[in-house]
Amino acid sequence: MNVANVHVQRMPARARLLRTDYQPGKFLPAFISRAGFENEQRWYAFDRGGQKFAVVQIAGLLARRIHCWIKPDMTYERGDRFGMISLGSEVDVYLPLSARIAVKPGDVVRAGETVLGEWGEP
């Protein structure tokens, strides 16, 4: 993401939030490969009827504020807003191994519109 993008993250599927973990870190530019490991981030672990997936918000050089709007043990609907990274940076989505991925690296995606992948009903 860059400063011109929308920085709100949405639920990729209807799921229950199992836990969220905050990891303090650096604020390296997102284009540096180790930024995804060393920068401040927040992990979200979800359960979708026994199928687990995760989302990670990663701060960057300018994006130094990660916002979390959801609470564990609550179920959220696909498209619900759950967080934001002020000024944008990186969001990683980890789908189940059984998922059929619908995007490729470098694709521009739109929150709440672009299908990232599909996997069977829970």
User: Which three-class secondary structure string do you get for 5-54?
Assistant: CCCEEECCCCEEEEEEEEECCECCCCCCCCHHHHECEEEEEEEECCEEEE
In angstroms, the CA 30 to CA 91 distance is: 10
Catalytic residue among 33, 86, 89, 98: 89
3-state class (DSSP) for residue 81? strand
Distances, alpha carbon 22 to alpha carbons 15, 71, 84, in Å: 20, 13, 14
Is 89 catalytic? The answer is: yes
Q: What is the token pair recorded at 110? A: 């739109």
Catalytic residues: 89
